[in-house]
């Protein structure tokens, strides 16, 4: 058998501990499949004495993660520290500069600094692998880079954050508001104490930028992703969506259009018949649409110790077998700089919820505003109400340009008949 692949593991939290557990418990099987052993040579974590689910007995510890980057007894670094800056970035840059391959689940690091790290890997002949950075245990990176490589991608659309999908699912199933579900998700450990990264769409934006780079041969462009989260979604919107034949999902979408490359993250109404509509709870799913293969669905757990560690170990196995590939499919010098589509140019259908006074002529006033913007309405829903209450009026449109929709919303907001700020959700045809 070939010499072992010697691994330095930085970070022993949920993902790092899960990685260690797989490497130890599956060691004989992994060695058989790779033709060489995957051997943990050294580990680094902030607290040596912390109780962990994975067995750390007999491991060589180092106090400074940077020591792993220059350790002659290490071939590859697994980075599970997290964050786009600080120790994580410094460690990965140093390791790649020294010719050590790197496996990471750090989507923020790849989205913000992936192009620079890929250049370092090319220069030193190391491998930069990040299958675990997008959708946990779902092998979407390998699928796009290898299995679907013959396709021109029409669109990538996915549920990429398990926390958001759990919250939206629970709101609907248990008929509760966002704040109540978020508080419970935090208590159960499904959401962080500071949940902005998840619920404001930032995590999904990182993953969307990475998928767009693989699909369209560009450097990750996180600053060109339009981002909206789910805080404004109400149970009332879910009820109206259900009545109209839709469910609400937070999607990350990348598509090459006549106006340029779209990269957007926002809540969407998707038809109940869509494959993504039935993906619930903490599960992730990605629809990849290729010109040759058609639409392919990938679904599974998008986070957690087991799924994420599964992808990390799969990358280690590739390296052990001698795989050499470009992190973003193409050499850094061949990555394109595309034009990016402005959200004002987006063409889709829309859901709009209004709180209006109950008096004759209000609907005609609203429809005249849409008529002035050349927007055609598809459906109008108004529920019965008690006298004196603000009436909830919901309208959906046929496909129109976002610029026209935004202009109509501004005009509606100025109307004396409207008593609540208009709320809009895009309808995504999948």
Domain with 78 in it: what CATH number? Answer: 3.40.50.720
Residue 223 CA: distances (Å) to CA of 92, 109, 254, 263, 322: 22, 14, 14, 10, 34
Confidence of residue 186 (pLDDT cuts 50, 70, 90): confident
Is 366 inside any structural domain? Answer: yes
Q: Which domain-ending residue is among 332, 355, 374?
A: 332
Note whether 261 and 366 are same-domain residues: no
Note whether 289 and 226 are same-domain residues: yes
Note whether 295 and 172 are same-domain residues: yes
The residue among 182, 145, 150 whose CA lies nearest residue 167 is: 182
Task: Tell me: pLDDT of 28 over 80.
Answer: yes
Helices (H) and strands (E) counted in the chain, each on its own, are 14, 16
- Measured N-to-C along each axis, helices 86-97 and 107-124 cross at an angle, to the nearest 10 degrees, of 20
Say which CATH number the domain at 357 has: 3.30.70.260
The DSSP annotation for 257-276 comes to ETTEEEEEEEEEEEETTSGG
Note whether 105 and 220 are same-domain residues: no
Q: Which domain-ending residue is among 332, 355, 390?
A: 332
Note whether 12 and 100 are same-domain residues: yes
Note whether 186 and 269 are same-domain residues: yes
Task: Tell me: pLDDT of 386 over 90.
Answer: no
pLDDT of residue 314: 96
Confidence of residue 388 (pLDDT cuts 50, 70, 90): low
pLDDT in tens, 33-50: 999 999 999 998 877 667
Note whether 99 and 158 are same-domain residues: no
Give me the domain span that covers residue 145. 140-301
Is 316 inside any structural domain? Answer: no
What total number of domains does the chain contain? 3
Mean pLDDT, residues 74-100: 94
Mean pLDDT, residues 172-194: 87
Alpha helices in 82-201 (DSSP H): 86-97, 107-124, 140-142, 162-174, 178-188, 196-199
Is 313 inside any structural domain? Answer: no
Mean pLDDT, residues 161-167: 93
Which residue numbers are catalytic?
Answer: 207
Note whether 176 and 93 are same-domain residues: no
Is 65 inside any structural domain? Answer: yes
pLDDT of residue 125: 93
Q: Which domain-ending residue is among 332, 353, 377?
A: 332
Note whether 125 and 151 are same-domain residues: no
Task: Tell me: pLDDT of 223 over 80.
Answer: yes
pLDDT in tens, 116-133: 999 999 999 999 999 999
pLDDT in tens, 336-365: 888 999 999 999 999 999 988 877 888 889
Mean pLDDT, residues 250-257: 96
Mean pLDDT, residues 153-180: 95
CA dist 398 and 129 (Å) reads 43
Say which CATH number the domain at 160 has: 3.30.360.10
Is 266 inside any structural domain? Answer: yes
Is 338 inside any structural domain? Answer: no
C-beta separation of 300 from 138 below 8 A: yes
Confidence of residue 425 (pLDDT cuts 50, 70, 90): very high
Is 386 inside any structural domain? Answer: yes
CA dist 52 and 235 (Å) reads 39
Percent of the chain at pLDDT > 70 equals: 97
Mean pLDDT, residues 329-333: 92
Is 306 inside any structural domain? Answer: no
Confidence of residue 52 (pLDDT cuts 50, 70, 90): low
pLDDT of residue 2: 86
**pTM, rounded to two decimals:** 0.93
C-beta separation of 161 from 250 below 8 A: yes
Confidence of residue 387 (pLDDT cuts 50, 70, 90): low
Confidence of residue 63 (pLDDT cuts 50, 70, 90): confident
C-beta separation of 226 from 265 below 8 A: yes
- Measured N-to-C along each axis, helices 14-25 and 27-34 cross at an angle, to the nearest 10 degrees, of 80
Note whether 255 and 375 are same-domain residues: no
The residue among 398, 312, 387 whose CA lies nearest residue 351 is: 398
pLDDT of residue 384: 65
Task: Tell me: pLDDT of 391 over 90.
Answer: no
Task: Tell me: pLDDT of 1 over 90.
Answer: no
Estimate the share of the chain in helix, then strand, then coil, as percent rounded to the nearest 5: 40, 25, 35
Note whether 291 and 144 are same-domain residues: yes
Note whether 119 and 200 are same-domain residues: no
């Amino acid at each position: 058998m070939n010499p072992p692949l010697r691994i330095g593991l930085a970070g022993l939290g949920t993902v790092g501990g899960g990685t260690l557990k797989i490497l130890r418990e599956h060691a004989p099987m992994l060695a058989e499949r790779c033709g060489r052993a995957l051997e943990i040579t050294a580990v680094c974590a902030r607290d040596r004495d912390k109780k962990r689910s994975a067995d750390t007995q007999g491991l060589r510890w180092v106090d400074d993660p940077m020591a792993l980057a220059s350790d002659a007894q290490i071939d590859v670094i697994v980075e599970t520290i997290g964050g786009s800056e600080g120790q994580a970035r410094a460690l990965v840059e140093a390791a790649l500069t020294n010719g050590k391959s790197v496996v990471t689940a750090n989507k923020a690091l790849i989205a913000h600094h992936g192009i620079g790290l890929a250049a370092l890997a090319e220069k030193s002949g190391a491998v930069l692998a990040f299958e675990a950075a997008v959708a946990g245990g779902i092998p979407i990176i390998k699928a796009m880079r290898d299995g679907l490589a013959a396709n021109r991608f029409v669109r990538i659309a996915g549920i990429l954050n398990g926390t958001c999908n759990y919250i939206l699912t629970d709101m609907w199933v248990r008929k509760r508001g966002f704040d109540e579900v978020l508080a419970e998700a935090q208590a159960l450990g499904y959401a962080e104490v500071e949940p902005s990264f998840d619920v404001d769409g930032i995590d999904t934006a990182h993953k969307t930028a990475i998928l767009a780079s693989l699909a369209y041969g560009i450097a990750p462009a996180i600053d060109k992703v339009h981002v909206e989260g789910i805080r404004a979604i109400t149970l009332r919107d879910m009820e109206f969506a259900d009545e109209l034949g839709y469910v609400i999902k937070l999607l990350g979408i990348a598509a090459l259009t006549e106006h340029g490359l779209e990269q957007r993250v926002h809540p969407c109404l998707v038809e109940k018949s869509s494959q993504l509509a039935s993906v619930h709870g903490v599960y992730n799913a990605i629809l990849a649409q290729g010109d040759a293969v058609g639409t392919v669905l990938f679904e599974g757990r998008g986070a957690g110790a087991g799924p994420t560690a599964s992808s990390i170990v799969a990358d280690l196995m590739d390296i052990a077998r001698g795989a050499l590939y470009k992190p973003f499919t193409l050499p850094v010098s061949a990555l394109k700089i595309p034009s990016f589509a402005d959200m004002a140019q987006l063409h889709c259908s829309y859901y709009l919820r209004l709180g209006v006074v109950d008096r004759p002529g209000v609907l005609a006033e609203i429809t005249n505003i849409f008529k002035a913007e050349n927007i055609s309405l598809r459906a109008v829903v108004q529920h019965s109400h008690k006298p004196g209450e603000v009436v909830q009026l919901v309208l959906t449109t046929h496909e129109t340009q976002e610029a026209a929709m935004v202009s109509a919303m501004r005009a509606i907001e100025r109307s004396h008949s409207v008593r609540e700020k208009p709320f809009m959700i895009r309808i995504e045809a999948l």
